[in-house]
Amino acid sequence: MNSTFSTYDLVVLGAYFAFMLLIGWVFRRAVSNTSDYFRGGGSMLWWMAGSSAFMTQFSAWTFTGAAAKAYEDGAIILALYFANGLGFLGNYLLTAAKFRQARVITAVEAIRRRFGKVNEQVFTWLQIPLGTIYAGIWLNALGLFFAAVFGFDVNTTIILTGSAVLLVSLFGGAWAVSASDFIQVVVLMLITIVAAVFTLGKLGGIDAFFETVPLTGKSNGLEIRSSIVYVWIIAIAVKQVVNVNNLLDSSRYLSARNTKEARKAALLATVLFFIGPVIWFIPPMAAATMIPDMSAVFPNLSKPDEVAYVAICLEILPVGMMGMLASGMFAATMSSMDSGLNRNAGIFVRNFYFSVCRPQADEKELMLAGKLTTITLGALIIVIALGLNQLKDMSLFDIMLQFGTLVAMPLIIPAMLAVFVKRSPDWAAWSAILLGLINSFAVKTLATEARLSAIIGGDLTSREMSDLILIIGVFSNLIVGVGWFFIATALSKHIPAKRESEVKAFFADVEQPVEEGDRDAGQDDPSLQVTLISRVALAYGGFMLIMALIPNPLTGRLAFIFCGGSLIVIALLLKRGARAFTLQSKVKAPTATSATQDQTSA
């Protein structure tokens, strides 16, 4: 087994970072105001907005903490990712259109329109710290992982990755973030397809996979207290659907060109979340059979199961391809971080600096404030990541799920109800958050192993304890948050006339589709974004084709040809689309001129 990076792998990884920085530099020309910087001017096409929505929903944790779950418990991990698919299906069917039609630059501006200025600040000063801590956890976990498995220096990994994310966001804003997300999703899907195919080849094919790999994982996870497992699946589905369909995450679709493009973006994310996991978790599930004792291979790791995905890839992938896998893992984390960084900078500038401190500020000042905020938050994320090294002794899977359940869920429940409940007092939102956080503290404090064991009747494993905490946290927060929100609505007999008028205006917008020609519809020439991305994709695809020259067996060379060729085909299709947009604009221009001349003559 090759346990270190070859020179070729390092070249591939270095080229990936260079191309990501190139995207930030190329897209700087597309930014002229805060709408461009924080939401791409609301001009992005569906495939760009959709790939960004998809990539922001997971990080390298998918290939570490979640891969460990697949290794230990088998196919049950698919429930988490299919739940994301259900959440995005809800976006496609209902909420993506409503979110885009909020007609704002940041999600918290939509919160202000719906719940007033007090809640604008409540959500601002909860979302920014939460988002920053999330990013710090992701970055720290990535650094620890690469340090343990490949011998990279953990601090150097954190600083270099954090700096790359910072520069991409700083140079090109939302345009560069979404463009890099598109390239990253293509690279990620290609390399995981290669890893899955090589894994199946090692086992002897698909039939051999089902014959030799236990779908319940190494621990027979579905057979241990199946009642807990099945309730956990339901809780995960509820949690993820709520998580994806709340107004605070409307930023996924605020960048879309119009309502139609927003819904198509949601559909793309839906399809990717139903297809992707089936491909991603073939290697770690196969590891349960191929490498039953992960600690024997990585004796120095405190959580060796978390490298199940990489352990298989070290066995099967050709020389140079591990660099691409590392690129994919960096991509998964960078996409979440850069979107969060850009989003949080936008919230600070638009919902605090402009709303509270400098309402008279012009676009030039706001752009400067946005860039300074991006630098500050980026540096803070790196500092947090460097200070979180104690995470190496904890389960990444449990950390992320419990943090999302007990800390983030109280915040997003009123944000979920925001576009469905039309008459409620402003205080219903912040009070529901407060009660939710109190409930989460009570769950974490009172739901002890002794109490839960007495209720269940028998000793609990650490895995079962973690599952029960999540189950109790999800359903209790849902009951407390939703229940109190409606109680507050029932208690409020009178809403101030000004706020009632503002809320009616908000819902009037939310119900009205954004179409081509509308004031808030994308105004930029779409051919520019297509042309720029196609050029980067073409260059990176060409680079991957050159990697086919690395001394490898034929199958290894074909893997690079498949990845590079696929990216080049996508680039050529994009260039063709750019030409179509140009032709359309030329056809429309004379018509508009003619109409103007007719009106003048009349």
pLDDT band (50, 70, 90) for residue 461? confident
pLDDT at 590: 47
Q: State the chain's mean pLDDT as an integer.
A: 84
Q: Read off the pLDDT of residues 181-204 as tens digits, 9 standing for 90 and up.
A: 888 888 889 999 999 999 999 999
Asked if the model's pLDDT at residue 225 lies above 70, the reply is no
Of 434-438, 453-457, 465-469, which gets the smallest average pLDDT? 453-457
Rounded to whole angstroms, what are the CA distances from 368 to 26, 176, 346, 355, 387? 19, 17, 12, 16, 29
Can you spell out the DSSP letters for 275-311?
Answer: HHHHHHTHHHHHHHHH-S-HHHHSTT-SSGGGGHHHH
Q: Which long-range contacts (CB under 8 A, 24 or more apart) does 539-548 make?
A: 539/19, 540/15, 540/19, 540/183, 540/187, 540/567, 541/565, 541/566, 541/567, 541/568, 541/570, 541/571, 542/568, 543/15, 543/19, 544/324, 547/8, 547/12, 547/320
Given a cut of 90, whether residue 390 has pLDDT beyond it is: no
DSSP string, 415-473: HHHTTT--S--THHHHHHHHHHHHHHHHHHHH--HHHHHHHHTS---HHHHHHHHHHHH
- Mean pLDDT within 375-384: 90
Q: Is the pLDDT of residue 509 over 90?
A: yes
User: What's CA 600's distance to the chain center, in Å?
Assistant: 51
Cα of 520 vs its chain's centroid, Å:
25
What is the model's pLDDT at position 142? 77
Could you count the other beta carbons within 10 Å of the beta carbon of residue 491?
A: 10
Residue 581 — very low, low, confident or very high, per pLDDT cuts 50/70/90?
low
Q: If pLDDT is split at 50, 70 and 90, which confidence band does 597 have?
A: very low
The predicted-structure confidence for 320-342, as pLDDT tens digits, reads as follows 888 888 887 777 777 777 667 88
pLDDT tens for each residue of 563-574: 999 999 999 988
How far is 535 from 48, CA to CA, in rounded Å?
A: 15
d(CA 360, CA 356): 10
Count the Cβ atoms, other than its own, within 10 Å of residue 29: 11
485 within 8 A of 417, measured Cβ to Cβ: yes
Instruction: State phi, psi for 256 to the nearest 5 degrees.
Output: -65, 150
Q: What is the reported pLDDT for 226? A: 64
pTM for the complete prediction?
0.86
Burial grade of 457 (CB within 10 A; 0-12, 13-18, 19 or more)? exposed
pLDDT above 90 (res 124):
yes
What share of the chain has pLDDT > 70, as a percent? 89
Residue 578 has pLDDT above 80, yes or no: no
User: 131 and 340 in contact (C-beta within 8 Å)?
Assistant: yes
- State the Cα–Cα distance between residues 163 and 182, nearest whole angstrom: 20
Helices (H), 4-106: 7-26, 34-39, 46-55, 65-73, 78-90, 96-100
pLDDT over 90 percentage in the chain? 39
**How many beta carbons lie within 10 A of that of residue 25, not counting itself?**
13
pLDDT (average), residues 86-95: 96
State yes or no: pLDDT of 377 exceeds 70: yes
* pLDDT attached to residue 285: 93
> Each residue of 41-57: pLDDT tens digit?
788 889 989 998 888 77
pLDDT band at 389 (very low <50, low <70, confident <90, very high): low
| Cβ neighbours for 499, distance < 8 A, ≥ 6 positions apart | 116, 426
What local confidence, expressed as pLDDT, does residue 103 receive? 92
Give the pLDDT of residue 220. 60
Q: Examine the pLDDT at 1 and tell me if it is beyond 60.
A: no
Tell me which range, 59-63, 93-97, 339-343, 535-539, is most confidently predicted by mean pLDDT: 93-97
Going along the chain from its start, the domains and CATH numbers come out as 7-221+249-412+493-524 (1.20.1730.10)
Amino acid (1-letter code) at residue 3:
S
> Is the model more confident about 451 or about 430?
430
Q: What angle do CA 77, 80, 81 make, to 5 degrees?
A: 95
